Every structure is written in C-alpha cells, then in structure tokens.
C-alpha cells in the first residue's frame, strides 16, 4: 500500500505556494479550491521512495536532488515545429509550450461542426465542474495501492489546459493533435492538463505528443477522457522527451455502455518515464484496447502501469504491451485487471512481452488479476527473451549489417502495436522514429 513519507521539505509544495499568483491569473477563479485541496493531498504523501510498492523500480532521486522551477510560458515559433517527430501529422494541431497555449504555432482553422476545442479559461464552467478531477480518481475502487499523488501534484498546478468536446452523433474525420513541448534551458516543471468528452455515438482520434529540447525537465501530465454510450475514441500518446528528463503521466478513462476506447502508448524518451492508464468500464458491452510499444537505451527506465476496472457485465478488454531494452536500460510493466462481483461474462486478455538486446538490460513484469465474479474469461501472459539467433543469421547471411538486421527484427516485434495506429502518417513517423532510436 502507499507509504506516507515522513514530513520533509518538498520543493514542489514550495513551488506551488510561490506560483499561486501566476496560476490565479491564467485560470478560472474556481480552480483555487481544487488546487488547494490537491496540494494538501499531495503533501500527505510527497514524492515516492523505493518503499512505495507502486514506484519501487522508478528512480526519482533527481526530483529530490535537483531544483526545478515552474516552467509556464516560453516563446516558440511555428518554424521550430519541424524538429518534432509528429510535426507533419495531418491534424488540427494545438501547441502547448511549457504548459502555455501557443496559438501562433497551432493550426486549428475551420474546426468541423460537432467539434469544440477551448482552453480552460474559455470553456463552459459546467463541463469543467462536472468532469475535471472527477474522472482521474481511484477513490472507492478495489485495490490497496490506489496511488494518486501525481494526479494531485498536477491538479495543484491547474492553470491553462485544453477541453475537447465531440458532440452526439458526430464523426470527426481529421485527428486532433496536442503537441506538448518543453523548451528548457534550465530545469522546468510542467503540468499539462487535458479533458476529452465524446458524446453518444460520436467518434474521434486524439493524438498527444510530448517532446523536449535538451536540458532537464519534469513533465507531469494528466488526461481525463469520458466516452458516452456507443462513443468511439482512438487515443495515441507519443513520448520522446530528452534523456535528462522525468515524465510521469496519468490517463484516466470513463466508458459508458457499448463505447470503444483504443489506446496506443509509445515511449522512446525520458531518463525516467512512467505512464499510468486507468480505465473504468461503467456500461455493458464496452470494448477497451490498450496497446503499448516502448524502447529504452542507455540507462533509461520506462515504467507502465495499466489498470482496468470491469464494473459491469458483458465487457471485453484486450491489452498488448511490448518493450525493447538495450544497454543498461530497465523496463517495468504492471497490468491490473479488477473484475467486480456484478461483472459476469467479462472477457479480459493481457499480454506483456519484452526483448532484451543486451545482457545488462532488465525487465520487471507483474500481471495482476483480482476476480470477484465466477462466469468470466481472464488470461494473462508475460514473456522475456532475446532475438532469435537463427533469424539474425538469416539476415546477416544476405548481406544485411548487424545493426540493420537487429532493427528489422525488433521492428517486426513492435509492429503488432505500431501497425494498429489508425492515421497513416502517424504510423509512418513512429516507424521511422523506432529505427532512429535503435540506431
């Protein structure tokens, strides 16, 4: 269970106190109460240590030893977008630089009927009051390690964020892309926030990308998603931040009956990168697809925690996470599936696979099933191995150099995840980024 950290000076508590005037000037007035409640919750636990079961493999000493400043606001030209991996994606694009909306670098002209995108300052207060910080909560759910401290830390710095609303019965053909850029000359702390609601029988694709320039940064994003009856959402998250950065993300999803949520989570960057994806299946006949592809080199640590709460009967979830590790890198996967007492006829499948490309790479995997219903089908599988020697020999014998042969085999391993991505240009860009990372 979560460990209470002994009272100590926490730089992020101090940073929040020093940033109050700025936060009040860039956000609706009623956010103040949310922020104060959140900083109290975060202070109760503080930064995790190796004694915290949920974080025991994630090295976060840099957050204690280094000094960070609230990085809100930085100048960013549209021409600088060309350096980003997904810059050429055909999409409505909304650029945030150090957590601040940069309209001069964004491209969102002629939004179609049924799609409304607004910053928190311009959003309908009723929508924010109804959903913000309500979806990203594990209170009252099964499990003894429902740790929300980094959601609380993000909420404590609630300022400028984005709301995406898709109206009932509308299909948005063109993807919506949120580019989160950290422009860092110093150690920046950034807390992006996104709220997505998809109306009944509506459909959309949302891409979130996170990239940083060189330099230390700590990015702590929270994304809240609500799908109404028969809604469909493809959500793609790509993280390729600097190898000196820390990235700790939370994605919370609420699904109503017959809705379909597809997540593809791709991680190449960060020295310490963590993703928590929590999905609450609140209606019958929902479908949830969680896909992940991770590549770590050097001394990177990439940590993925997924959680599926099957609260209603006749629902399906399918999960495939793949990790590729080189050098002294480390991977972590913890996949939890909770099947509640009333969730009969649940069908849940979880697969976690890892390839170690060096003898010094490490993978820690922990599938968890907690089932309180008796008429269910739940399976999980975890495998860790190396590239097959006969496959390498086959490619080398045909004149393919070792690094390219390795990249081809690794791509084939990761293709099951990357090839499921809907937008063709996103898929192609991530394929190219994968080869670059391996090189």
Question: Token match 């109804």: residue?
Answer: 130
Q: Is residue 409 domain-resident?
A: no
Q: Is residue 316 domain-resident?
A: yes
Which of 189, 179, 183, 197 lies closest to 150, judged by CA? 189
Q: Is residue 437 domain-resident?
A: no
The set of residues, in sequence order, having a beta carbon less than 8 Å from that of 225 and lying 6+ positions away, is 135, 196, 197, 198, 233, 235, 251, 252, 253, 254, 261
Task: Put residue 178 in one of left, alpha, beta given phi > 0 → left and psi -120 to 50 → alpha.
Answer: beta
Q: Is residue 266 domain-resident?
A: yes
Supply the pLDDT for residue 213: 65
Q: Which domain holds residue 39?
A: 11-388
Q: Is residue 399 domain-resident?
A: no
From residue 370, how far is each of 159, 280, 379 by CA, in Å? 37, 15, 12
Supply the pLDDT for residue 7: 43
Q: Is residue 357 domain-resident?
A: yes
Q: Is residue 345 domain-resident?
A: yes
Which of 129, 283, 105, 277 lies closest to 179, judged by CA? 105
- Walk along the chain (439 residues) and give the pLDDT tens digit of each residue: 455 544 456 899 999 999 999 999 999 999 999 999 999 999 999 999 888 989 999 999 999 988 999 988 776 777 677 788 898 899 999 999 988 999 988 998 899 999 999 999 999 999 999 999 999 999 989 987 889 999 999 999 999 999 999 999 999 999 999 999 987 667 889 999 999 999 999 999 999 999 986 678 999 999 999 999 999 999 999 999 999 999 999 999 999 999 999 999 999 999 999 999 999 999 999 999 999 999 999 999 999 999 999 999 999 999 999 999 999 999 999 999 999 999 999 999 999 999 999 999 999 999 999 999 999 999 999 999 888 888 888 899 989 988 888 888 888 898 889 999 999 999 999 999 988 887 7
Average pLDDT of the chain is: 92
Task: Put residue 13 in one of left, alpha, beta given phi > 0 → left and psi -120 to 50 → alpha.
Answer: alpha
CA distance 261 to 244: 32
Q: How many CA atoms lie within 13 A of 321 on its CB side?
A: 31
Supply the pLDDT for residue 6: 44
Q: How many domains does the chain have?
A: 1
Q: Is residue 186 domain-resident?
A: yes
């Amino acid at each position: 269970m979560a460990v209470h950290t002994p009272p100590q000076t926490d730089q992020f508590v101090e940073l929040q106190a020093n940033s109050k005037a700025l936060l009040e000037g860039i956000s609706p007035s009623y956010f103040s109460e949310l922020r104060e409640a959140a900083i109290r919750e975060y202070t109760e636990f503080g930064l995790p240590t190796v004694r915290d079961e949920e974080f025991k493999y994630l090295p976060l000493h840099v957050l204690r030893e280094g000094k960070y400043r609230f990085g809100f606001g930085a100048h960013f030209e549209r021409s600088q977008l060309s350096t980003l991996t997904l810059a050429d994606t055909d999409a409505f694009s909304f650029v945030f630089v150090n957590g601040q909306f940069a309209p001069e670098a964004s491209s969102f002209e002629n939004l179609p009927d049924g799609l409304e995108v607004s910053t928190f300052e311009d959003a309908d207060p009723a929508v924010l009051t109804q959903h913000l910080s309500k979806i990203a909560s594990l209170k009252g759910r099964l499990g003894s390690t429902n740790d929300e401290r980094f959601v609380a830390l993000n909420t404590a710095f609630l300022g400028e964020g984005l709301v995406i609303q898709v109206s009932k019965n509308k299909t948005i053909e063109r993807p919506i892309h949120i580019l989160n850029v950290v422009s860092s000359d110093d150690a920046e702390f950034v807390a992006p926030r996104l709220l997505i609601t998809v109306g009944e029988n509506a459909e959309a694709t949302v891409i979130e990308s996170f990239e940083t320039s060189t330099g230390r940064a700590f990015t702590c994003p929270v994304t809240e998603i609500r799908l109404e009856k028969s809604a469909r959402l493809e959500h793609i998250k790509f993280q390729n931040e600097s190898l000196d950065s820390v990235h700790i993300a939370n994605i919370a999803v609420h699904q109503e009956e017959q809705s379909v949520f597809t997540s593809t989570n791709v991680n190449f960057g960060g020295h310490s990168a963590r993703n928590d994806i929590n999905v609450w299946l609140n209606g019958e006949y929902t479908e949830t697809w969680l896909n992940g592809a991770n590549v770590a080199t050097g001394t990177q640590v990439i940590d993925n925690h997924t959680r599926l709460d099957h609260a209603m009967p006749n629902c399906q979830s399918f999960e495939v996470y793949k990790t590729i590790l080189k050098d002294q890198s480390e991977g972590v996967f913890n996949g939890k599936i909770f099947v509640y007492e009333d969730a009969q006829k649940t069908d849940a499948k979880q697969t976690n696979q890892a390839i170690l490309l060096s003898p010094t790479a490490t993978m820690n995997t922990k599938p968890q099933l907690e089932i309180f219903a008796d008429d269910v089908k739940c399976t999980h599988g975890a495998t860790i191995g190396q590239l097959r020697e006969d496959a390498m020999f086959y490619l080398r014998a045909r004149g393919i150099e070792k690094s390219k042969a390795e990249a081809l085999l690794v791509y084939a391993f990761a293709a099951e995840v990357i090839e499921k991505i809907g937008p063709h240009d996103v898929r192609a860009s991530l394929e190219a980024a994968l080869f670059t990372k391996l090189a």
